Amino acid sequence: MMSEMKPSDTMYERVEHAARSIRARWTEDVRVGLVLGSGLGAFADDLQESVSLSYEEIPGFARSTVEGHAGQLVLGKIENVSVAAMQGRFHYYEGYSFEDVVFPIRTFGLLGIKSLVLTNAAGGINVELNQGALMVINDHLNLMHASPLRGAHDARFGARFPDMTEVYARDYQEIAVEEAHNMNLELRRGIYAALTGPSYETPAEIRMLRTLGADAVGMSTVPEAIVARQMGIKVLGISCITNMAAGVIGEPINHDEVIETGARVHETFKELLRRVIPRLQ
């Protein structure tokens, strides 16, 4: 019988406990981790030989409270590549700590995952990104006022001061762009800015972000990417531009639009992931 977590357990021990609970349901080595953002979770439904675990079944996982996030981990295969796909993530704006937000990524690391695909729904700042476009992330701006690495350090997770020169692997970016080209799909590269939310940004804030060099803006992904790099996991980031940011086209923004756009492009998005994931090493 698997032992229960204790309040005195360290973060590393809690993550180990979560990893053991997942291995009890899926004994194969998992090669690729995948986080599916708002409206993009349908990809996990296509995994072969799949097993689904609700987040409530995994010790240490929080609950996803946002519409468009199913709140379960799906383990399965794509072309014999074993994948762990999160249908929904945890956000800082939901009231969770950064430790909660990145707990699944730390768990992926202890499962032995070396490749991570982070996806999100984002607002378009660059006017060349249309609603429904996909953008591969080549860098980010962390404007969330804190780091997920803040606090007590455990060297078993990686370096105290990890290098962030190349958070998003260049070779993974090339694979994504190449496969998009094979689909006759334009896939631009861009910089993703992460803010805490949950309110959408003001037009003045979007003008500031554009000045800073951001192409898209959202409320996730960056904490996960930072922790992945600390743990030596290579990252591919893809944003679905589900709406144009405040002031870009003069229209109001609502979350229903985000979900609707994600649903509209999900077949294209799924095809891109089906092509890219088997090539990640």
Which CATH number do you get for residue 164? 3.40.50.1580
Residue 215 lies in a domain: yes
pLDDT of amino acid 8: 55
Which one is catalytic: 219, 244, 245, 246? 219
pLDDT of amino acid 40: 78
Q: What angle do CA 136, 175, 266 make, to 5 degrees?
A: 55
pLDDT of amino acid 85: 97
- Take residue 17 and report the two structure tokens written for it: 């406990």
For residue 256, what are the CA distances in angstroms to 29, 51, 267? 37, 29, 19
- Take residue 155 and report the two structure tokens written for it: 């060297």
Taking the CB of residue 11, how many other CB atoms lie within 10 A of it?
Answer: 16
Q: Which residues span the domain enclosing 155?
A: 11-279
Which one is catalytic: 194, 205, 243, 245? 243
pLDDT of amino acid 1: 38
Beta bridge partners of 121: 240
Which one is catalytic: 44, 82, 91, 228? 91
Whether the pTM exceeds 0.85: the reply is: yes
On whether the CB atoms of residues 271 and 46 are closer than 8 A, the answer is: no
- Does 243 qualify as catalytic in the annotation? yes
CB neighbour list of residue 171: distance below 8 Å, 6 or more residues apart: none
Distance CA 106, CA 267 (A): 29
pLDDT of amino acid 264: 76
Residues of the chain with pLDDT under 50: 1-2
- Take residue 109 and report the two structure tokens written for it: 């690391």
204-254 pLDDT, tens digit each = 999 999 999 999 999 999 999 999 999 999 999 999 998 876 657 666 666
Residue 6 lies in a domain: no
Count of domains observed in the chain = 1
